[in-house]
């Protein structure tokens, strides 16, 4: 796993924003592992969320980005994975707070609800904000405790939709 590499998954609703994010990350020298769809043809977002969320959950990726039309569906499925703290952000303030207080490891964006410039500002803030720890570690400890009790360690491995 490259500490600087970010995994990106998207469905058709997030394709155009993904292209803008690629260019932004490339300019920053951040490597990307693209596991999203490569077009605007309709696909099912859980397949792509699973690829990023399982990589983060299993430690193959430190961070990920998920993009669908609203970000809602992607955030719902991603947060089913143990150790994933996926945060749907619609403002720069939200992205700063989710990194500082929640140590968010997956940023979720809505490709049809957030403009490109705002999405790039959100991403930049998410990338540059450090986790504060301290009192916030208590809440993250409770989340980990709940995951141990509630999560199935076998995980979910959906069939490949292209076969």
Active site residues: 101
DSSP 18-39: HHHHHHHHHHTT--EEE-S-SS
Residue with tokens 């939200």: 94
User: 67 phi and psi, to 5 degrees?
Assistant: -140, 125
**134 CB contacts (<8 Å, ≥6 apart)?**
none
């Amino acid at each position: 796993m490259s500490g600087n590499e970010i995994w990106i998954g998207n469905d058709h609703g997030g394709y155009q924003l993904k292209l803008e994010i690629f260019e932004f990350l490339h300019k920053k020298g951040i490597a990307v592992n693209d596991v999203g769809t490569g077009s605007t043809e309709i696909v099912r977002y859980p397949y792509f969320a699973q690829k990023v969320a399982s990589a983060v959950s299993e430690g193959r990726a430190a961070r990920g980005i998920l993009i669908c039309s609203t970000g809602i569906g992607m955030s719902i499925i991603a947060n089913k994975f143990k150790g994933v703290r996926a945060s749907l952000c619609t403002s720069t303030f939200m992205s700063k707070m989710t990194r500082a207080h929640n140590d968010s490891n997956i940023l979720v964006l809505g490709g049809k609800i957030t403009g490109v410039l705002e999405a790039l500002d959100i991403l930049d803030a998410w990338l540059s904000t450090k986790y504060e720890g301290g009192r916030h570690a208590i809440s993250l400890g409770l989340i980990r405790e709940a995951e141990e009790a509630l999560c199935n360690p076998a995980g979910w491995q959906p069939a490949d939709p292209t076969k």
